[in-house]
Structure 1
């Protein structure tokens, strides 16, 4: 039964991501042009992320930050490199649109646990590592239940709950709620931070069934 669900989920990913790329192509072009004008090149931000079973892939997003560096050549903190336009893209999730390409390629799904940094892989406990049993998603159960306003542990609990309860009706519910939250611009940042603090690991290696 789960195999059938995953097959239907993949078919929906292909159809909806292709449709999204076609329908949203004007938005892609306008956004890319604005990034080029306000922040220069490159337009895209490409970074390695772990996918299903921890397999590494290159995730594509629109760039939201300047590449400003200090005298030693180090990138300045995120807060100093964000522009007003970049913050607007993040609050409206416009920066996530290129991930539809990752979905079409089979590296991501429309719905699933968000792909995080590669450096986090050895920091997960056994329970948290289960988030990699499915393809990562553009949006997910954790994103509609707090996104960046909840702790890492809460976020991973939501991710694993999704893995255990995966079904097409749940994906449809998550997609609709994501659209609702994007329009309301809810839960983008924790407090006033631009991004969440990095995950450093969980002290107690909780085993959850």
Structure 2
């Protein structure tokens, strides 16, 4: 199939079909995770945050909450339960709703905080030309263990060459990374360090009130 035809006419209907099917299939798992979050962390069950979508448009991203409320650093607030939730990416499943609403795709660059937008260079900003995704080439290449420069370059390359084959490979690669437990966090961090205008990884980890970019 021609790549442009796939991107324009097939990708979005396929997102709707698969997201709807996954929500129906995984409904018992979603309920079980919600109950586990409520038991382990208390209310609220869902974490909500405004993220940058296609062309930088803001949207409300949904996740299962994985950090305890209150003082403390990310490592202390995350705990064993939260680490398991993030390692398995079960915390990301509510984003199937974001996909149905047209704010995300099954495959694409991960949605990052709005505060990052001013710090992208021209090449990095090109990642915004497509809907953010649940899985993606950067996740397949290493998830949060991938340095910011490499991660954003993967996103930019994907945005320029959207294809059915590329999406299929990204999904398989993301599943592989999850199964081997790689890239849950950046080296030396409980989650993922912030991205700044110098493309550096600054010391402050991204807490759940601003959330890890996943």
TM-score normalised by the chain length of structure 2: 0.88
Corresponding residue number in structure 1 for 2:210 = none
5 Å-filtered alignment, 1:57-96, equals: 57-69=59-71, 76-96=72-92
Say whether residues 1:121 and 2:121 are aligned partners: no
5 Å-filtered alignment, 1:16-31, equals: 16-31=18-33
Corresponding residue number in structure 1 for 2:36 = 34
- Could you tell me whether the CA contact under 8 Å between 2:59 and 2:103 is conserved in 1? yes
DSSP 3-state at the match of 2:193: coil
For residue 4 of structure 1, report the CA deviation from its aligned partner: 2.2
Runs of 4+ in 1 over 6 A off after TM superposition: none
Give per-residue Cα distances to partners, 1:78-106, cap 9 Å, x unaligned: 12211211100100100010000000110
Across the aligned residues of Structure 1 and Structure 2, the Cα RMSD in angstroms comes to 1.5
Take 1:126 and 1:5, find their aligned partners in 2: how far apart are those partners?
25
Corresponding residue number in structure 1 for 2:107 = 111
TM-score normalised by the chain length of structure 1: 0.91
Say whether residues 1:173 and 2:165 are aligned partners: no
Corresponding residue number in structure 2 for 1:73 = none
5+ residue gaps, structure 2, are: 200-214
Give per-residue Cα distances to partners, 1:35-85, cap 9 Å, x unaligned: 10110000000000000000000000000001113xxxxxx3212211211
Count of residue pairs the alignment pairs up? 198
> Mean alpha-carbon deviation: is it higher for 5-14 or for 85-94?
5-14
For residue 167 of structure 1, report the CA deviation from its aligned partner: 0.3
Q: Which protein shows a greater Rg?
A: 1
For residue 202 of structure 1, report the CA deviation from its aligned partner: 2.9
5+ residue gaps, structure 1, are: 70-75, 204-209
- Could you tell me whether the CA contact under 8 Å between 1:124 and 1:202 is conserved in 2? no
Take 1:55 and 1:3, find their aligned partners in 2: how far apart are those partners?
23
> Mean alpha-carbon deviation: is it higher for 89-98 or for 142-151?
142-151
Picking from 133, 142, 148, the partner of 1:146 is: 142
